[in-house]
Amino acid sequence: MTTGAVLTAAGSGSRLAAGIPKALVLLDGAALVLHAARRLRLAGVVEIVVSAPADHSASVLDLLSADSVLREARITVVEGGASRQASVAAALAALPAAVDVVLVHDAARALAPVSLIQRVEAAVRSGHDAVVPGLPVTDTVKRVAAANADGAELVRATPDRSTLRAVQTPQGFARDLLDRAHAAGAERAASEASAATDDAALVEALDRPVWVVQGDVAALKITTAQDLLVAELMLREEAR
Ligand code: CTP
Ligand code: MG
């Protein structure tokens, strides 16, 4: 029984617009990908495959290999693809055969706590083959039609909020199921427009059950400069 992690870090970070790939942006002196990898290791994960931006594989490997928290981790770095889905698939292909449970995690969720990572892994080990952490949605969410000429969008529906969950990473899977889900959905990975936005969606497409466990606000996705400020505050809070 070996748990492995796929850590996606190959995105460009266009919405953060930091001038460098988002996973390399520093938070309290450490790159986002380093924060995320450390927490995976502290949760007990040894096998970690990172998908890095083109031309950054060597620097990502150096950065992670030099870290004392990751001393006992086995880190592999692969080049990411054209979509997050493609980057996950590339990393998945590089996971050792002995790995039977996979945690798929985003460097963008750099502060996902150890307790959350362990909760997801435990749920998979207890027999749920696909597990996502989720939180109740606090906004009212509207489904809309395509925008008209002046940019306004017509509301089509208001889903019952009590049935909605905002899902996070790490998402945990039985390895064979995740491999099959990615193989079946492979043609979607060519661009972000067609790709699945999370791995659980590929499992859902196989008509296999996906389960939600409790998420954690600290696992927020760092997308914008404002999110980075929030993450800084959270890290400071954590250190108190
Ligand atoms: N990711 C990846 N490969 C891609 C695109 C995204 O590995 N081709 C990773 C990102 O590095 C990030 C995670 O997927 O850890 C979630 O993606 P997102 O938050 O959208 O990050 P970016 O794609 O980098 O940001 P943006 O969409 O603003 O460009
Ligand atoms: Mg993106």
Q: Which of 8, 39, 111 to mutate to test the pocket of ligand 1 (most atoms within 8 A of CB)?
A: 8
Name every residue whose Cβ is closer than 8 Å to that of residue 219 and which is 6 or more positions away in sequence.
109, 111, 112, 113, 116, 133, 168, 169
pLDDT for 217 beyond 90 = yes
Structure tokens at 150: 């002046």
Q: Show the ligand 1 pocket: residues with CB < 6 angstroms.
A: 8-15, 22-23, 51, 80-84, 87, 106-108, 221, 223
Number of the ligand closest to the Cα of 7: 1
Number of Cβ within a 10 Å radius of residue 76: 16
Alpha helices in the chain (DSSP H): 32-42, 57-65, 84-92, 114-125, 175-184, 199-204, 225-239
Domain residues for the domain of 27 are 2-134+165-239
Give a yes or no: residue 79 inside a domain: yes
Summarize pLDDT for 16-46 with one digit per residue, the tens.
999 999 999 999 999 999 999 999 999 999 9
Report the pLDDT averaged over residues 63-80.
98
Closest CA to 215 of 172, 173, 166: 166
Contact 77, 57 (CB under 8 A): yes
State mean pLDDT over 206-217.
98
Q: Which of 217, 227, 223, 188 is nearest to 204 (CA)?
A: 188
Cβ–Cβ < 8 Å for 203, 180: no
Residue 160 in domain: no
Determine what percent of the chain is predicted with pLDDT higher than 70.
100
Domain membership of residue 152 (yes or no) is no
Reduced to 3 states (helix: H, G, I; strand: E, B; else coil), residue 188 is helix
> Domain for residue 153, yes or no?
no
Asked if residue 201 has pLDDT above 90, the reply is yes
Ligand nearest to the backbone CA of 107: 1
- 182 lies in some domain: yes
| Per-residue confidence (pLDDT) for residue 226, from 0 to 100 | 98
Is 150 a member of any domain?
Answer: no
Mean pLDDT value of segment 121-134: 98
Residue 213 sits in a domain whose CATH number is 3.90.550.10
Q: What is the spatial distance between Cα 141 and Cα 68, in angstroms, rounded to a whole number?
A: 43
91 Cα–ligand 2 center, Å: 17
Q: What is the mean pLDDT of residues 223-234?
A: 97
Residue 97 lies in a domain: yes
Residue 143 is assigned to a structural domain of this protein: no
Residues 129-184: tens digit of each pLDDT: 999 999 999 999 999 998 888 889 999 999 999 999 999 999 999 999 999 999 99
Q: What is the count of structural domains for the chain?
A: 1
Q: What is the pLDDT of residue 202?
A: 98
